[in-house]
Amino acid sequence: MNPVDKRRREFLGSAAGFAGAMIAPGVFLYDYANAGVSDGASRPRSPAEPASASVRWGMLIDTTKCASGCRECVDACNRENGLPGTTRSTDSQWIRKVDLKDLRTGKALSVPVMCQHCAEPPCVDVCPTGASFKRADGIVLVDRHTCIGCRYCMMACPYKARSFVHEPTTGQKPDVPRGKGCVESCTLCVHKVDRGGTPSCVEACSAAGHGAIVFGDLNDPQSEIAKRIREVATAQLRADLRTDNGVRYQGIPG
């Protein structure tokens, strides 16, 4: 077993902590991905359980609070996931800051864009091997063991959220396996979320005093994110494509 695989298995083992952790990662991920799909009942999730369909993780980005020129979320993502942080056209960028100018009013905005964790993800539909998959809790991931690097998911993603690893990787993090020749994208810091944590970009944005990103369970009416979405006008990017994104934006028209 190479070190990455070993670390990856350790990560998976601790992430879900059930007996399946000992069996082949592909099979394991399959179970992991499908757990709870048929179980629509809402119930609290204990850390020992696999991803549950009663939860739908999402983020709300308040564009009015997001500061132009600020890159805290981007830097935090790169640190957390062991990405080099360079921006050549062949480098991975899981989250990027997009500067916008309203063509009618000229108003400027700056927003982070990452994988939108679509409920109807085109990347999952097109993936020939099923390496792109959506967990029961809405997080869209790539199984690094079955991705053949065809890049069809990158062609299909409407948000340019995915990167292809164009070179041998260095500086990998134990929790975040990466590999040359595979496609990758924002995991919503699944390794942290499964331990009850919050994605690093959200933490960094708060720590910098902007608090522009709220993370939480869209299915839980009591969660802050669900409340905010009820109260203020929010939008999904390219809502016309009906991908039903888990990432929502406040302050831009849908």
Partner 1 sequence: MSALASSSSARRAFWMLLAAGSLVLAVALGAAHYMEEHGHAVTGMNNQVVWGLPHVFAIFLIVAASGALNVASVGSVFGETAYKPLAPLSVLTTVALLAGGLMVLVLDLGRPERLVVAATHYNFRSIFAWNMILYNGLFAICALYLWSLLERRMGALTGTVGLAAFAWRIILTTGTGSIFGFLVSRQAYASGVIAPLFIALSLAWGLAAFYLAQCGLARLAGQEAWDEALHARVRRLLGIFVIAALYFVVVHHMTNLYWAKQAAFERFILVSGTPYPALLWGGYVVLGTAVPLLLLFHPRLSGPRATAAASVLVSLGALAFLYVFIIGGQAWPLEIFPGYEASSSFHDGRVDGYSPSLPEFLLGLGGLAASFLIGLAGARALPILAPPKVAMPAAAPAK
Residues that bind ligand SF4 (CB under 6 A): 115-118, 121-123, 126-129, 131-132, 140, 142, 147-153, 157, 159, 161-162, 183, 185, 243
44 binds, among partner 1, ligand SF4, none (CB under 5 to 8 A by kind): none
Count Cβ atoms within 10 A of the Cβ of residue 92 and give its class: 0-12 exposed, 13-18 middle, 19 or more buried.
Answer: buried
Q: Are 235 and 252 in contact (CB under 8 A)?
A: yes
68 binds, among ligand SF4, partner 1, none (CB under 5 to 8 A by kind): none
Length of the chain (residues):
254
List the x/- string, 119-138, binding to partner 1 by CB under 8 A.
Answer: ---x-xxxxxxxx-------
Cβ 207 to ligand SF4, closest distance in Å? 25
> Which residue(s) pair with 111 in the sheet?
98
Between CA 10 and CA 223 the distance in angstroms is 31
Nearer to partner 1, 3 or 181 (CB): 181
Between CA 250 and CA 77 the distance in angstroms is 21
The torsion angles phi and psi of 16, rounded to 5 degrees, stand at: -110, -30
List the x/- string, 147-186, binding to partner 1 by CB under 8 A.
Answer: xxxxxx-xxxxxxx-xxxxxxx-----------xxxx---
121 binds, among partner 1, ligand SF4, none (CB under 5 to 8 A by kind): ligand SF4
Q: Which residue in 40, 41, 104, 170 binds partner 1 (CB under 8 A)? A: 104
- The alpha carbon of 27 is separated from its chain's Cα centroid by a whole number of angstroms, namely 22
118 binds, among ligand SF4, partner 1, none (CB under 5 to 8 A by kind): ligand SF4
Q: At a CB cut-off of 8 Å and minimum separation 6, what does 49 contact?
A: 16, 18, 35, 36
Alpha carbon distances (Å) from 50 to 47, 199, 214 = 8, 18, 23
Residues that bind partner 1 (CB under 8 A): 26, 87-93, 96-104, 109, 113, 122, 124-131, 145-152, 154-160, 162-168, 180-183, 237-238, 241, 252-253
